[in-house]
Structure 1
Amino acid sequence: MRKFISKIVVILLVVIAVLFSKNIIRYYFPLKYSNYVVKYSQEYNLDPHFVMAVIKTESNFNPNVRSSKNAVGLMQITPDTAGWAAREMNIGNFNYGMLNDPKFNIMMGCWYLNNLNREFNGNKKLVLAAYNGGRGNVQKWLKDSQHSTDGKNLYYIPFKETDKYIKRVEVNYKVYKYLYLKIDTGTFSQ
């Protein structure tokens, strides 16, 4: 009986440790702005875990961050991309200050990810490479045998920053999928 109780105690301690560690990890991988992420992920046919991973990587959920390349907000959208996207989205009253609004920034970022997703046939690595390094660069790399053997996949990304970016988003995506398994009624279930 003593061995049985010891095993139960060990199992309970392991379960508590796993649950506690998940809660600690959730602190570093929050679900900020999840209402907007869920709404626009659904509208633009994206996995909300993927969008969360992009936001985590781009801004760490700081809506006021501005990059050295003048990218703005949660999803770090550059003014050039925002102006083009606003025209494509038929947003007639667009101004760059709108990028500071988390709801607008997530909406435009999701639209842009969806646009890249369609262009690159759902290949997430290419979508991320284009989101970070520019779609024109990705198209050029796909045509170059030093970067792609089949014109559809990249095996070498010449921009180290873009290569690291893709890897960080992929890790963040796996963490979000692990921590928040599914979406129920507009929120992530734990």
Structure 2
Amino acid sequence: MVMRKRRRFSWLRLIIFSLILILSIVIVAFHSFSWIVKAIYPTHYIDIVEKYAEVYNIDPYLVLSIIKNESKFNPEAVSRKDARGLMQIAPITGQWASEKLPIESYSQDMLFDPELNIQIGCWYLSILNNQFASNFELVVAAYNAGNGNVSRWLSNPEYSADGKNLDNIPFGETRIYQQRVLRDYERYKRIYE
């Protein structure tokens, strides 16, 4: 009889201990989840992003999504096409921006400066935003493929039925890029708003 009580008692202790352990793990995981999500969707350079997003009337979450996809927040990133910095500004775009903004003593290496890179990126996004009537799908596609390509696609019934929206993006890289940026944009909004 005493043996049965001990066994029952030890099983009961084991079950209680297991439940407490599982509950503790769930609580820690729940509290860590927020930290993990924010690590996957960081807000590095947020002060600079918010500054220029406001100046150029661009959603800062769109800017963060583009930076995440273009450079993974690496200010020294260089693409195989020589685009540079956080927002992967092409040297020719940097030169054009330096004349329009104006930026004194411009050189391509200045594109590695996070503040200047984000300023130029937001400036360029504002141009695309105006050109494509604030249609984020078109703006993001144009940021990747160029506004000339997107304009041509809109005028081609093979890619656009109404001339205002793209039904199909012929560049696979741009199609995937657009999907990822827009997905990340929605996630940034959900996490930080």
State TM-score, norm by structure 1: 0.85
Kindly state the Cα deviation for residue 80 of structure 1 after the two structures are TM-superposed: 1.2
Within 5 A, what are the aligned runs for 1:43-122?
43-122=55-134
Structure 2 SS opposite 1:25: helix
C-alpha separation between the residues in 2 aligned to 1:149 and 1:19?
47
Kindly state the Cα deviation for residue 178 of structure 1 after the two structures are TM-superposed: 1.7
Root-mean-square deviation (CA), in Å? 1.8
C-alpha separation between the residues in 1 aligned to 2:28 and 2:129?
40
The answer to whether residue 179 in structure 2 is matched with residue 154 in structure 1 is no
Partner of 2:175: 163
Task: For residues 119-158 of structure 1, give each alpha carbon's deviation from its aligned partner in whole angstroms, at most 9, with x where no partner exists.
Answer: 1000001101110001110010011000001111101000
Which segments of structure 1 move beyond 6 Å, counting only runs of 4 or more?
Answer: 10-15
Aligned length: 172
Q: Which runs of 5+ in 1 are unaligned?
A: 1-9, 182-190
Kindly state the Cα deviation for residue 87 of structure 1 after the two structures are TM-superposed: 1.8
Which is richer in helix? 2
Task: For residues 41-70 of structure 1, give each alpha carbon's deviation from its aligned partner in whole angstroms, at most 9, with x where no partner exists.
Answer: 111111111111110010000001100000
Partner of 2:149: 137
C-alpha separation between the residues in 2 aligned to 1:13 and 1:155?
46
Kindly state the Cα deviation for residue 31 of structure 1 after the two structures are TM-superposed: 1.1
C-alpha separation between the residues in 2 aligned to 1:93 and 1:41?
24
Kindly state the Cα deviation for residue 88 of structure 1 after the two structures are TM-superposed: 2.2
Amino acid at match of 2:37: I
> Between Structure 1 and Structure 2, whose CA radius of gyration is higher?
2
Partner of 1:26: 38
Kindly state the Cα deviation for residue 16 of structure 1 after the two structures are TM-superposed: 5.8
Structure 2 SS opposite 1:103: helix
C-alpha separation between the residues in 2 aligned to 1:64 and 1:169?
20
State TM-score, norm by structure 2: 0.84
The answer to whether residue 188 in structure 2 is matched with residue 176 in structure 1 is yes
Identity of aligned residues (%): 45
Q: Which runs of 5+ in 2 are unaligned?
A: 1-21
